[in-house]
A and B are shown apart, each in its own frame.
Chain A
Amino acid sequence: MNETIRGLVTKFGGLPVAVDQIADDADLYSAGLSSFASVQLMLGLEDAFDVEFPDTLLNRKSFSSINAIAATLTQILDKRDVA
């Protein structure tokens, strides 16, 4: 999952540094992720993983690192499996 997320961060994040130089737990906002880029990334993740983020998860924390994004996605996918 993290590799797919990295690909999307590369595509939508608009970061000034190469994504492979960013650790899984590094803060993406500190690395230069803007509010608008985070929205593009959110929409890209929804498309790639065929999910829809609920309003409660549409916040900075959900997209703050590769790990945070993976945790957010896992939370949604787990819920869907249970349902």
Chain B
Amino acid sequence: MDMQVSFLDRLFEAGLLIDTGVEGLYGRSGQFEDVIAAFERLIDRFGGADGAEAIRFPPGMNRAYFEKSGYMKSFPQLAGTVHSFCGCELDHVSLMKCMDEGGDWTGEQKATDIVLTPAACYPLYPTVAKRGRLPAEGGLYDLQSYCFRHEPSTDPARQQLFRMREYVCMGTQDHVTDFRQRWMDRGVQMMDAVGLTVEIDVANDPFFGRAGRMLANNQRDQNLKFELLIPVTSAAKPTACMSFNYHQDAFGTKWGLELEDGSTAHTACVGFGLERIALALFAHHGLDVKDWPAHVRKALWG
């Protein structure tokens, strides 16, 4: 049995995660949620004084915004769309018959106006663009959402529905790259406070196909993405628990985000994989939080 399955089994046995029969789709215990809530408070302590505007979107976004975002160009394999039955009573009879016979009843489902949110910040850009030009000090936003990525796996650190906490910064190139560097420093400090050993490395997104290989190489060549890595299920392949992304003016151009002087905004975001951080804590300090080192418990629960 490989390490990943055994850690997942231990999490199930301890009741921290709850098996639903689908890989990467799990329930969470109260204890697991309490660790995430405590870590989010730690994030607040590090970032709260920055004065970010808090916004919470549900885990679904406007399909039109999703289409415009270009997500399907880069990550068609990860996207999840919401479909519903939109037929008449006669169609319903056919549907019931098909389900009774064990047939594929999903083919007649129609796409709704909702797509599952792939990253917490995706609904933000069109929302901010609608407000008009950014104020002189730029924009800073605090987001958290469940996100969906279709990548079934027995690695508990690769879930299909997981929470992402994010700060997004909009402004000049210097403004947003300073923001990104500040959070790389803070990320290391935060993980140190909870007793986790980390490394930061340049990274790329999982772009689709051979064309994606080129996009990934471009992203690395330009140092656009860094990840904070912590061993969770493997010391050799540590898990990305935070990411630090500089989008240049790509989102600014796409969504028409303008600075006070009318120039195109640059954007950057820092993301926390909340389940991954909780899993790193459980993997490193043990499955019973009562046994965690005192300084870690103090950092999380005061």
Q: Which A residue sits closest to B224, measured CB to CB?
A: A35
State which residues 206-224 of B face A: CB under 8 Å. 210-211, 213-215, 217-219, 221-222
Interface centre among B210, B215, B218, B222 (most CB of A within 10 A): B218
State which residues 11-60 of A face B: CB under 8 Å. 35-36, 38-39, 42-43, 55, 58-60
Q: Which residues of B contact A39 (CB under 8 A)?
A: 211, 214-215
Q: Does B97 contact A (CB under 8 A)?
A: no
Interface centre among A35, A60, A61 (most CB of B within 10 A): A35
Q: Are A42 and B218 in contact (CB under 8 A)?
A: no
Interface string of B69-95 (1 = CB under 8 A from A): 010010000000000000000000000
Q: Which residues of A contact B218 (CB under 8 A)?
A: 35, 38, 59-60
The chain B residues found within 8 Å of chain A, CB to CB, are 70, 73, 210-211, 213-215, 217-219, 221-222
Mostly, the B contact residues are helix
Q: Are B211 and A42 in contact (CB under 8 A)?
A: yes
Q: Are B222 and A60 in contact (CB under 8 A)?
A: yes
Q: Which B residue sits closest to A42, measured CB to CB?
A: B214
A69 to chain B, nearest CB (A): 13
| 16 additional contacts (CB under 8 A) given A38-B218, A59-B218, A60-B217 | A35-B218, A35-B219, A36-B73, A36-B215, A38-B214, A39-B211, A39-B214, A39-B215, A42-B211, A55-B213, A58-B210, A58-B213, A59-B214, A59-B217, A60-B221, A60-B222
Chain A contact-residue range equals: 10 to 19
Q: Are A59 and B211 in contact (CB under 8 A)?
A: no
Q: Which residues of B contact A35 (CB under 8 A)?
A: 215, 218-219
Q: Which residues of A contact B211 (CB under 8 A)?
A: 39, 42-43
Query: Number of contacts between A and B (CB, 8 Å)?
Result: 28
Q: Which B residue sits closest to A52, measured CB to CB?
A: B210
The chain A residues found within 8 Å of chain B, CB to CB, are 35-36, 38-39, 42-43, 55, 58-61
B215 to chain A, nearest CB (A): 6
B258 to chain A, nearest CB (A): 19
Q: Can you list 14 A-B pairs, Cβ within 8 angstroms, ordered by A?
A: A35-B219, A36-B70, A36-B73, A38-B214, A38-B218, A39-B215, A42-B211, A43-B211, A55-B213, A58-B210, A58-B213, A59-B214, A60-B218, A61-B221
A28 to chain B, nearest CB (A): 13
Q: Which residues of A contact B217 (CB under 8 A)?
A: 58-60
Q: Which residues of B contact A55 (CB under 8 A)?
A: 213
Given contacts A35-B215, A39-B211, contact A59 B221 (CB under 8 A): yes
Q: Which residues of A contact B70 (CB under 8 A)?
A: 36
Q: Which residues of A contact B73 (CB under 8 A)?
A: 36
Complex CA gap A39/B216 in Å reads 11
Q: Which A residue sits closest to B211, measured CB to CB?
A: A39
A33 to chain B, nearest CB (A): 11
Complex CA gap A60/B219 in Å reads 9
Complex CA gap A59/B210 in Å reads 12
Interface centre among A39, A55, A60 (most CB of B within 10 A): A39
Complex CA gap A60/B222 in Å reads 9
B86 to chain A, nearest CB (A): 33
A56 to chain B, nearest CB (A): 9
Complex CA gap A59/B221 in Å reads 8
Interface centre among B211, B213, B214 (most CB of A within 10 A): B214
Complex CA gap A31/B256 in Å reads 21
Q: Which residues of A contact B210 (CB under 8 A)?
A: 58
B55 to chain A, nearest CB (A): 28
Q: Which residues of B contact A60 (CB under 8 A)?
A: 217-218, 221-222
